[in-house]
Every structure is written in C-alpha cells, then in structure tokens.
C-alpha cells in the first residue's frame, strides 16, 4: 500500500510541476487582452486566415487539443458542421443533423421501441461503441448526464436539448480522446460551439408539415447581441413544437393486418387468425371466448369489430373456433411512430474585458420541454382468472378503452416534462507574453417528470366486478363508458429523475520555449467535479399493495461521486515538416475498483509539401462505470430458471432440463448495482492524409480502429446460475470446456448472488432450492471496430453562374467484433449493422438566390429472419438451427429448407432547400426533406412485428415541407 501511495504522489507531483511551470517562468500579467479567444474556429477560421498575411494568422483551439494552433487540420481528423450548413441541408434540429454524421453508424433505441425509457431524449452512437461512449461538450465543457438510464441500464448525454438558434458550429472528433477530455471519450467527442459576439438581432419563423399527414412543426427563434468598448452580450430565445406522429397517420402500419404477407402463416391469412383484442370475456374453464351481445362491437366509432377467433393445429391440420370478441380494427393506430415535443429555450453569454488584461465571462442556458409518446391505449384486465358468481365460471377479462371514452387520445399519452439548466462563469488572461490561462466553474442540473396514465386497480375492479370482485357488470364491459366514469377509475402516475454536475476547471497553454524546429507548445489542465443522480419512481406503483401499475420498467437508484483529474499536452516540432503531439492525463473517480485511470495519446503530422498532410494517432481511453451501474437499487421480478448446480451435483450433466426436474419455479430475481466495477479501457489508432489538390479542392482519407476491454454489461439470472455451478463443480451443464473460466473474484461475486434454502434431505444449504437470484453489471464484455473515412470538399466560383461548393463524406465499417463474456471468443457482428454511410451536399449561391441539394445513404441491415429458415411451400417456417422440419405434419415434413440471408435497404434520403434575399434585412427559405417520400412501404418481408418496416434505417415520416422567414434588425 505504501509503494502505491508513493507512486501516486510522484505522478501527481510530476503533473503539477509541468502544469504550473509557466507560473514561475512568467509572473507578470499582460497589459492587453487576449485576442485569440475572439478568433473564429473551424471552417470560419480557415477562411479568415486565408484573407490575412502569414504574420497575422491567429491561433485557435480545435477539438482534440487544448493547444491553440494556426493549422485547422491536426493529427486526428475533425469534422465540422456549421449552423448555416444545418439550416441549408434542411434539418429541423441539431440532433436531426447529427444523426446523418457518417461517424454515427451505430443504431440506437427508436421512438417506436416498446417500453421506451427515454421519451424525450435522443442518444448518439459513434463508431458502434454505444451511446455512452462518446462525449458531448458544450463550448468545450462536459454536460450533465440525462437522468434516466438508457434501456434501463446506463447513462448517456441527450443531444435533443440543443436549440439550433444558439449553435455556431459543431466539431466532431471520432477517435479516442480521454487523454484530453477524460472519461467517455472512447469513440470520440462532439463539441457544440455556441454563438458569441453576435451583433444586431435576427428573428426566424418557420412552419412545416409532412405531405403524408401529421408531424406539423413550428419553430420561432430570436438571436441577438450587443457590445461596447469592453463588453459584449449574446442572447437567444427559441420555441419549437413538433407533433407526435401516431401510426394512424400511416395506413400501411397501423394494424396487424399490415404485416407483410410473407411474415404470416398462410393458414392464419386464410382463416383470419390475428392476435387482436379490444374487449374479451374468456371462459378459462372451457377455453372459449364468450360472445359479445349483438351490435356491441359496433358502438365504438369503428375502433372495434366483431372478431371470430380461431386457432390452427398444424399437427392435425385442423382449425378450432375459440369464440368471438371485440377485436381492434387498427391495433397500433395510436402508437406514436415519432414522439412529439414542445421546447422552450433561452441562452445568454456575456464577457467583460478588465483594464488589467483579464476577461470575465458568464453563460446561462435553460431548456424546458414536454415530450409525448404512446404505445397501446389504456386497458383494464382482471389480472388472470377469477370465479364469477353470475356466470358460474372462471373468467379472464380484458377491456381496452377508446379515445372517445377517455376524452381524446391525448389523455392516453405519456408526458415527459423536462427542465435543464447550465450556468458557468470564468476568468481568462495571460501570464506574460506567452501563456494563456482560463479558469471556470459551473453547475448543471437536469430534471425529468414523467407523467403516465394509469388504471386504479381497486376502483376499476369495483367498477366492472362489483364491491366483492366476483360478478362482471356486462353492461359496463360491452358498452362505451363516459369520460367522467373513466376519470373516476384512473389517475396519472408520476416518476421523477434528476441528475446534476458541479465542476471547476483550470487550463494554461502557450509556448514553453523555442525548440530546434519551432516553439514547443504546451497545455495543462486541472479539473474537479461532483456528479449525482436520483431515480424516484411513483411510490404508488411499488410493493405488493401498489395502487396501479406502469408499463415501463421501474428503475430505482441514487448516488453521488467525486472526480479529480490532471493532464498535460505537448506539441513538439521535430522538423520543419514533422510535428509530434503527446498528452497524458490522470483521472480518479470515487466508488471505482482500482486506483485511477491513466491515459495518453500521441500523434504525428508530416507535411512533406505545403498542400499535403500525412497524419496518424494512437490513444488510450477509458470510461468510468455509469452511475446507474454502480448505484442501482434492487428491483424484483419473478421468473422460472434452471438449477444447473443441482443437476451437476446429481450427476446429470447433459440433461439439465426442466423436464428432467431441474426447474426453479417463480424465483425472485432482483437487479442491483455493482459497487466495485472497474474502468472500461480502450485504445484507438488513426492514420490518413489530407491533400489540397488544387485551389478549392481538398480530399482526405483516414483509417481508424477502436478497441474496448472490460466492457460493462449486465449478467442475467441464467448466467449467475451457470457461474455458480461452474465455480462449485468445475463443470458445465453441456460438458463443454469454458475457454476462460471465471476468476476467483467473479466466483465470489456470483456465489454471493444466489440464495438457497436448506436441503430437504439435510445435506446442507448448497443443495437447497434457489429462493433468490441477484443480477447486475460486471466487467465482462469487449468490442473492436475499424473502418475508413473519406471526404471531399470543392469550391467553384464563376462570374456567370454563381458560386458552388461541394462536400462529400463516406464511412465504411470494415470490422465489428464483440463478445458478451470473457469466456467467449470475439465474434464478427458487422453483418448485423449498416456497413457504410454517405452524406453529401451541393450548395449554389448567386446574387440574391441560394439553393442546396443534400443526400445521405445508410447501408442495408439484415431482415429480421436473416440467417434463419426459409418457409416451406405451405408457409411453415421451422425454427431449428439446421432448418429441418422434424415435428409437424407439414407436406414437406423431413425436407430441408434454405437459410434466408436477405437484407433491407439501403435507405437513401434527399433534401433540397432554396432561399431568396427579399431585402437587405429580409429573406425567405423553402425546405423539402425526404424529397422522394422514401418510407420503405415494401417493408421487411419477414417482419411480422410492429412497425413492419426496417425502422433502424427508414423513417415512417416521409416527405416534409417547410417555409421560413428571416428578418435581421440592423
């Protein structure tokens, strides 16, 4: 322990010495304010620099380095999207634009997903590394995590709460950058630069809709700024509303009847067997539905129809009538294909130049939003069968409600009311003539109040079944109820989630001294932060005596942790044409197993000619365990499992099945956090070139590879029982050898997660029945990705036809390997993802006119039955791995069928826009997104489940049009 302490102290002292070296060398303050921070960056900086003399080039900070530089291109590729580009390419929001990045190839949970956890949040998945492994910065500062965990597991940043009115540009670095920015920068960094030094005022009014119906949108913004001799202020207000899009607006995907013909069994199509229910009274004693009264199903404004239910027995080739019910005519018509949102945002940035050369600044951003989504309409059920004294039988009841009964479909929506704010302030100045310093502090908070419709169990049971819950009131079951009666048996539940982040940051940068080939650039950083989160589900949905249920998963957890970091960076000219960059950083988080994360990177820039840059980088990276991975509070469910330990103890290896007597019935399963998780660790390589072929023509190509070890993933109940059996017996249920047996620490953890009762034969507790299994995350997985990026930029200026600019970006995913456990070998998963992505645009400007044509292409994805069995001639699809039908009376019994390798896509979208400058102050713009109305109506031919299209790459929205008016106040 003493040695490790000394090592940590030595490292800390070394970092601090390097960081504070400029203090001793340059103690005097400068007499004039630093102008470099006022300089433009990204594409604007390149244009500004070109207009100056070489001796007047200002240095700027580019994402991926804290050292200011004159060259925009560095050792790692950085892609820039400007606010003007977002507008001209036809995107409504920042997130809409970011999803088209070729680096963002990984798919994420869509709005259509069942039980979606994040109604009003939009994650981004760079390089297929997962939403939480890319870092979002605002003006170079880390943002607070979204309070709700992604898919109920991990934290991520919300890219949906960045208003377009305040954005100047977005810089994207898609490779490891933890040595500069710390945790999460495994796949890259997205740095959103907000407006500063804005002069005058600009008002924008934009309205749009979808030509297929629905999805109306309105966008109102006001951005402006004022300045004096030693101060400036920039401000913006924005209101944005976009309607939710229910499936009823898309007739090709609002019902089970819309499923592709190939996805349904021919007998199902023949007799009309579809899994639909609206109102059902099922006799559990006879297995037959009890018929609705005549005309009952016709009373609900077309929502229900009289459905005769049938079942088909393939073994006997017979069809059985199982009675009738009121089936839903359009099962999914109220399900939101795209969530709605109503956003209000405000932003202000101000700075002040002091007489001593320092500059003070402060910024505040506030975002308030209501997101809306919906799956099925609210429903009541008897929660299984009960004995009905009136009918004299055991009944199982289901009763869906209609929009007319609940007072409008909107009353069935889940609302996510969100409020986030970010306040930061700082001082910056100079040490002498060579070193800049910047100190800042900030506080950010994010709160989500999720309000969902809920059926009050006791009141609804009393309404339909009477005071004793034993006699159905068929008049109330089969006839519409009033909105007032519905209100008496329902409520709105409320879940709350909060997260917060407090931080302080100090950066110093400049030239240490003149080297043999140029000045040695330096940057140092100290950082301290405290973050926390809290999940507070509605208490009335918890416990055995809960008042009502909610359809989404219930997540519990809360905690806080501290974070400290120190880092240094050097830029070293080795030759006039060769420059090296190196950086190192030390990060320490509370509640993480191990000491700290030390990361480094190195890069080379070689400029053999003035128009050619050859570059390469190597970087290590890490990700601290998510707060929810560490602090999740147990939430319990019940499920049947297999007792592998009892099977192996009984000498039944190879026969560990439920039928053999090794079934654990109704075991309590609880998921909880794991306090001693390790850091996820990664590394990345890039190598490529940038070639300015001619005036206005530039191309670049970069190879990249990212590797991740100790990836954190949940271990399910079955995995816990498998590990328990192996740790205690050294055997597997199948007799196969485990490639990587669990470590002693993992065995200790997994054994602690199983609770067993005493053995009935007195042999001790180890052979007793399983009573509880505790699951949760561990460091066990890994993934590797690699690919190629390519880009082209071209400008053409003509006297007669105007000015043109072209931009193309392309990414090809060469490899995607993953494993879900350290006992497995890496498996190639590239086939399961889009393998290429392209985006390109052409912009034209002449006098008062401008126009842009934009296109993007996302590569194909596998059909849902990709690699599965094709159907036989009679439509039957076997489920066995060898595609042989062994157990039915199909005419093709015993014959083999091929595997199906179909893919769906690619998805190609075209956007166009045009603008006209009416006066010096006024302009009008027209936008058409998805010009050719591509929605993939042909569908995935085997996707039986909603939403019937390949929604990973296709959007059901279709063509959208918008008109915008812009007015500048001079």
Which of 611, 804, 603 lies closest to 699 in space, CA to CA?
611
Residue that the structure tokens 């109604």 belong to: 119
Which of 237, 131, 248, 238 lies closest to 190 in space, CA to CA?
131
pLDDT of res. 895 = 61
CA angle 332/336/337 to nearest 5° reads: 95
pLDDT along the chain (970 residues), means of 10: 37 36 35 34 39 47 79 86 92 92 86 67 91 92 91 82 92 94 95 92 97 96 95 97 94 79 52 70 92 94 85 60 87 91 96 94 96 91 92 95 94 94 96 92 96 95 94 95 96 95 97 92 97 94 88 83 96 96 95 83 96 96 93 82 90 87 85 89 96 95 97 90 92 83 86 82 64 89 96 94 96 95 86 95 96 96 84 65 54 63 92 97 97 87 80 92 94
Rounded Cα gap, residues 310 and 284, in angstroms: 16
Q: Which residues contact 752 (CB under 8 A, 6 or more apart)?
A: 774
Q: What is the DSSP letter of 154?
A: B
How far from chain centre, in Å, is Cα 147? 13
Q: Are 102 and 791 in contact (CB under 8 A)?
A: no
How long a stretch of residues is the chain?
970
Three state DSSP letters for 379-438: EEECCCCEEECCCCEEEEEEEECCHHHHCCHHHHCEEEEEEEEEEEEEEEEEECCCEEEE
Which of 791, 951, 922, 765 lies closest to 858 in space, CA to CA?
951
pLDDT of res. 48 = 38
**Mean pLDDT score of the chain, rounded to an integer?**
86
Rounded Cα gap, residues 845 and 802, in angstroms: 6
pLDDT of res. 59 = 67
pLDDT of res. 884 = 61
């Amino acid at each position: 322990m003493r040695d490790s302490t000394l090592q940590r102290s030595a490292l800390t002292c070394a970092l601090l010495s390097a960081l504070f070296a400029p203090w001793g060398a340059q103690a005097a303050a400068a007499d004039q304010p630093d102008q470099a921070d006022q300089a433009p960056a990204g594409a604007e900086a390149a244009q500004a620099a070109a207009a100056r003399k070489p001796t007047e080039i200002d240095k700027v900070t580019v994402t991926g380095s804290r050292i200011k530089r004159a060259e925009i291109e560095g050792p790692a590729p950085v892609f820039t999207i400007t606010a003007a580009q977002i507008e001209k390419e036809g995107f409504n929001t920042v997130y809409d634009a970011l999803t088209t990045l070729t680096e963002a190839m990984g798919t994420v949970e869509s709005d259509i997903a069942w039980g979606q956890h994040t109604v009003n949040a939009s994650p981004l998945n760079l390089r297929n590394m997962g939403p939480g492994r890319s870092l979002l910065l605002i003006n170079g500062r880390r943002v607070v995590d979204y309070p709700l965990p992604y898919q109920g597991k991990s934290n991520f940043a919300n890219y949906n709460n960045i208003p377009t009115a305040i954005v100047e540009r977005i810089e994207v670095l898609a490779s490891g950058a933890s040595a500069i920015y710390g945790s999460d920068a495994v796949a890259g960094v997205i740095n959103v630069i907000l407006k500063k030094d804005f002069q005058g005022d600009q008002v924008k009014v934009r309205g749009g809709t979808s030509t297929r119906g629905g999805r109306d949108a309105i966008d109102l913004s006001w951005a402006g700024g004022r300045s004096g001799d030693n101060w400036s202020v920039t401000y913006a207000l924005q209101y944005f509303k976009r309607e939710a899009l229910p499936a009823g607006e898309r007739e090709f995907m609002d019902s089970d009847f819309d499923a592709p013909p190939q996805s349904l069994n021919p007998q199902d199509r023949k007799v009309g067997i579809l899994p639909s229910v609206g109102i059902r009274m099922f006799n559990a004693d006879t297995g037959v539905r009890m018929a609705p009264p005549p005309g009952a199903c016709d009373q609900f404004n077309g929502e229900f129809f009289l459905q005769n239910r049938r079942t088909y027995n393939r073994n006997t080739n017979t069809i059985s009538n199982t009675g009738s019910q009121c089936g839903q005519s359009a099962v999914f018509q109220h399900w939101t294909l795209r969530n709605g949102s109503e956003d209000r945002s405000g932003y202000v940035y101000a700075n002040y130049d002091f007489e001593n050369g320092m500059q003070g600044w402060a910024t505040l951003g506030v975002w308030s939003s209501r997101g809306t989504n919906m799956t099925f309409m609210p429903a009541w059920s008897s929660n299984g069968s009960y004995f009905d004294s009136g009918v004299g039988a055991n009944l199982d009841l289901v009763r869906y409600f209609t929009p007319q009964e609940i007072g409008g479909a909107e009353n069935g929506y889940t609302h996510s009311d969100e409020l986030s704010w970010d306040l930061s302030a700082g001082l910056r100045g100079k040490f002498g003539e060579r070193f800049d310093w910047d100190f800042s502090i900030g506080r950010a908070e994010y709160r989500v109040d999720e309000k969902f419709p809920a059926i009050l169990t006791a009141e609804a049971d009393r309404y339909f079944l009477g005071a004793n819950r034993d006699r159905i009131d068929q008049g109330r079951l089969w006839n519409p109820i009033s909105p007032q009666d519905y209100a008496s048996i329902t409520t709105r539940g409320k879940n709350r989630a909060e997260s917060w982040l407090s931080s302080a940051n100090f950066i110093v940068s400049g030239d240490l001294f003149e080297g043999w080939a140029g000045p040695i650039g330096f940057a140092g950083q100290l950082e301290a932060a405290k973050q926390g989160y809290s999940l507070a589900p509605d208490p009335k949905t918890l416990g055995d005596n809960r008042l009502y249920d909610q359809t989404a998963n219930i997540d519990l957890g809360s905690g806080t942790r501290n974070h400290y970091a120190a880092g240094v960076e050097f830029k070293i000219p080795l030759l006039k044409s060769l420059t090296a960059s190196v950086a190192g950083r030390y990060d320490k988080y509370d509640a993480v197993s191990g000491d700290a994360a030390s990361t480094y990177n190195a890069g080379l820039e070689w400029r053999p000619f003035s128009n050619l840059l050859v570059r390469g980088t190597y970087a290590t990276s890490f990700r601290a365990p998510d707060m929810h991975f560490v602090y999740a509070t147990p939430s319990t469910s019940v499920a049947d499992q297999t007792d592998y330990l009892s099977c192996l103890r009984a000498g039944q290896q190879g026969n560990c099945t439920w039928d053999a007597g090794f079934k654990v019935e109704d075991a309590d399963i609880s998921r909880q956090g794991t306090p001693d998780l390790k850091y996820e660790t990664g590394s990345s390589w890039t190598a490529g070139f940038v070639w300015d072929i001619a005036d206005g023509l530039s191309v670049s190509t970069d190879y990249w590879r990212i590797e991740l070890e100790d990836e954190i993933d949940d271990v399910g109940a079955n995995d816990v029982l498998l590990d328990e059996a192996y740790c205690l017996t050294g055997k597997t249920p199948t007799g196969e050898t485990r490639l990587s047996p669990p470590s002693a620490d993992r065995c200790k953890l997994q054994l602690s997660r199983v609770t067993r009762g005493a053995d009935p034969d007195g042999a001790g507790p180890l052979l007793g029945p399983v009573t509880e299994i505790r699951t949760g995350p561990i460091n066990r997985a890994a993934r590797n990705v690699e690919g190629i990026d390519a880009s082209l930029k071209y400008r053409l200026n003509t006297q007669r036809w105007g000015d043109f600019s072209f931009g193309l970006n392309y990414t090809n995913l060469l490899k995607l390997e993953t494993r879900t456990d350290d006992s497995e070998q890496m498996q190639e998963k590239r086939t399961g993802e889009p393998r290429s992505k392209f985006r390109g645009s052409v912009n034209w400007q002449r006098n008062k006119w401008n126009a842009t044509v934009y296109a993007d292409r996302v590569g194909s994805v596998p059909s849902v039955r990709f690699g599965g069995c094709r159907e036989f001639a009679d439509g039957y699809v076997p489920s066995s791995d060898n595609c042989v039908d062994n157990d039915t009376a199909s005419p093709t019994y015993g014959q083999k069928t091929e595997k199906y390798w179909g893919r769906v896509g690619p998805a190609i979208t075209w956007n166009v826009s045009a603008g006209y400058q009416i006066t010096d102050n006024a302009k009008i713009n027209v936008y058409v997104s998805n010009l050719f109305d591509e929605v993939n109506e042909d569908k995935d031919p085997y996707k039986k489940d909603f939403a019937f299209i390949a929604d990973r790459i296709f959007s059901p929205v279709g063509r959208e049009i918008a008109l915008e008016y812009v007015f500048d106040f001079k």
